[in-house]
């Protein structure tokens, strides 16, 4: 996290949860500054932060397994309020005399929570409500110092409180959107238990980051990898606010962009931003390195390496460069396994996370590394970026390569580009673009039989993917009107040669990811 001037803060102890940063994001939503720290932070180190409260994240391990991440049990007796979530609750209860066991009936997904004991943390929370569970272990027994606050059908201790210490445990996840009233619990913990008043704002982050960049860069030059998407655009705006003409931007046209993407980026960042923009035509090189490759992680790896090669070559033509700026967000970091010595699991590789070889000789600037997508959009508005750019749907760094399943080749990319353009055109025509978080087409390496003009066809299947989310760590599939889906399907089949079947993805995240690769 960036250094903050806020005198109120919460520390999140990370035990490897995919949602650790999401917890911090939810805390910041309540206008309380929050930092992520290692799970093994010492009580002395905690005191140096002077936090108002601690939150223990979930994690993929079992507390009774060899090598499972632990925290110093002394933190529970420091007098600092503690909210322990999922794995954190299990660790809390075990540390204070309880027993954790594997359950014969695991809970993954939605569950109905019943509040059985009134308490400040449940003030304003319905007596019975939906929550999100994700555990195979659970607390089977607590010491006499704890009382149960809530339960589900298969989890009798779904929420607990210590009788004398300001310590709470929740087996479910209040931070995810699948727990609709989770923010009520978090707000109660922050304001009632921790005594926070909510004085931190995102504008504080922007001011502090601009000052930090200006101080760090000095008189040197920065290059920014620009894609035209929200993240890199906000990075460029931050840098321009901080260092002005010391910024150069490089767009690598990898041949994996959406229809007319490169032209749009050039127009935006030469006319609107007046930046020193360099465009690299790398289409042939990217397609050559992807030839014959079907494994998703290998695709990402090769795209990352080729991006670096193209970027390095162009950067050598710019004098005085010391820093490279990237639009890395925290979902990229956490899904890439976070710190190499940390407990988080790797979900997928990201070409802009840890992909910059030391031999480039640049120092890395990632001013958005601790933010989520919705926070980046809000920051973009604060910086004066146009709304049409700020609210643009996200596009993955590897581009259409991770939406063209199987081997990537230009004929398939052409089909995908045209279909994707139709999908976007129709969602905009329906006035639903701003109502959805991410919408795109996926070309499958699957052919099916069809009939067109009384003739048999054997062509590709295309999937339309549309989700709604405010954090991109969890997401629900969007219930698009049938008539909109019908128009998309009809136009794609009629106008795009090579597709005879269109499907709609109705998977949520989790268990699916938003992208298919």
> Catalytic residues, which ones?
86, 173, 175
Count the Cβ atoms, other than its own, within 10 Å of residue 283: 17
**Is 227 labeled as ligand-binding?**
yes
**Is 4 labeled as ligand-binding?**
no
* φ, ψ dihedrals at 34, nearest 5°: -145, 145
**Is 476 labeled as ligand-binding?**
no
**Is 228 labeled as ligand-binding?**
yes
Contacts of 163 (CB under 8 A, 6+ apart): 145, 146, 147
**Is 231 labeled as ligand-binding?**
yes
Whose tokens are 């590394």? That residue is 369
Inter-CA distances, 384 with 210, 241, 267, Å: 14, 10, 18
**Is 304 labeled as ligand-binding?**
no
Q: Please state the separation of Cα 421 from the chain's center in Å.
A: 25
Count the Cβ atoms, other than its own, within 10 Å of residue 204: 16
The SS3 assignment for 102 reads strand
Mode of pairing for the β-strands spanning 53-56 and 82-85? parallel
Burial of 293 (0-12, 13-18, 19+ CB in 10 A): middle
Would you state the structure tokens that stand for residue 140, as one six-digit string?
């089977």
**Is 229 labeled as ligand-binding?**
yes
The SS3 assignment for 186 reads helix
Q: Is 436 within 8 Å of 467 (Cβ atoms)?
A: yes
User: How many Cα atoms occupy the beta-carbon half-sphere of 231 within 13 Å?
Assistant: 24
Binding site members: 227-233
Binding site members for ATP: 227-233
């Amino acid at each position: 996290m960036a250094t903050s001037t806020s005198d109120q803060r919460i520390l999140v102890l990370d035990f490897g949860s995919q949602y650790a940063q999401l917890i911090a994001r939810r805390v910041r939503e309540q206008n309380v500054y929050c930092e992520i720290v290692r799970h093994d932070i010492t009580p002395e180190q905690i005191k140096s932060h002077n936090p108002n409260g601690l939150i223990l994240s979930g994690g993929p391990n079992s507390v009774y397994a060899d090598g499972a991440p632990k925290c110093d049990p002394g933190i529970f007796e420091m007098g600092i309020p503690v909210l322990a979530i999922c794995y954190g609750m299990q660790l809390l209860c075990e540390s204070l005399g309880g027993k954790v066991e594997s359950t014969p009936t695991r809970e993954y997904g939605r569950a109905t929570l019943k509040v059985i004991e009134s308490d400040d943390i449940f003030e304003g929370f319905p007596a019975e409500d939906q929550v999100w569970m994700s555990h195979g272990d659970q607390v089977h027994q607590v010491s006499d110092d704890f009382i149960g606050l809530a339960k589900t059908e298969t989890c009798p201790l779904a929420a607990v409180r210590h009788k004398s210490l300001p310590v709470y445990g929740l087996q479910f996840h209040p931070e995810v959107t699948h727990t609709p009233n989770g923010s009520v619990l978090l707000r109660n913990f922050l304001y009632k238990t921790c005594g926070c008043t909510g004085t931190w704002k995102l504008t504080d982050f922007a001011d502090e980051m601009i000052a930090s960049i200006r101080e760090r860069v000095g008189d040197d030059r920065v290059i920014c990898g620009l894609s035209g998407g929200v993240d890199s655009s906000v990075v460029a705006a931050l840098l321009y606010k901080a260092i002005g003409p010391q910024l150069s931007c490089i767009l690598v046209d990898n041949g994996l962009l959406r229809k007319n993407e490169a032209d749009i980026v050039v127009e935006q960042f030469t006319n609107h931003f007046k930046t020193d923009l360099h465009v690299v035509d790398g289409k042939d090189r990217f397609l050559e390195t992807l030839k014959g490759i079907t494994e998703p992680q290998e695709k990402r790896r090769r795209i990352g390496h080729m991006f670096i090669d193209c970027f390095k070559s162009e950067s050598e033509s710019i004098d005085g460069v010391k820093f490279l700026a990237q639009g890395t967000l925290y979902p990229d970091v956490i899904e890439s396994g976070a710190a190499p010595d940390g407990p988080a699991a790797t979900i997928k590789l990201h070409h802009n996370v840890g992909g910059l070889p030391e031999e480039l000789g640049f120092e890395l600037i990632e001013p958005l590394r601790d933010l989520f997508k919705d926070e980046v959009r809000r920051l973009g508005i604060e910086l004066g970026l146009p709304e049409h750019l700020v609210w643009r749907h996200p596009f993955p760094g590897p581009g259409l390569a991770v939406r063209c399943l199987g081997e990537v080749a230009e004929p398939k990319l052409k089909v995908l580009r045209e279909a994707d353009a139709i999908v976007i055109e129709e969602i905009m025509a329906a006035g639903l673009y701003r109502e959805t978080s991410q919408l795109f087409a996926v070309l499958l390496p699957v052919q099916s039989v069809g009939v067109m003009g009384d003739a048999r066809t054997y062509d590709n299947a295309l999937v339309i993917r549309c989700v709604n989310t405010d954090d991109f760590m969890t997401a629900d599939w969007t219930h698009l009107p049938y008539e909109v889906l019908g128009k998309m399907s009809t136009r794609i089949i009629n106008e795009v040669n090579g597709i005879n079947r269109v499907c709609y993805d109705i998977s949520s995240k989790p268990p699916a990811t938003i992208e298919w690769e």
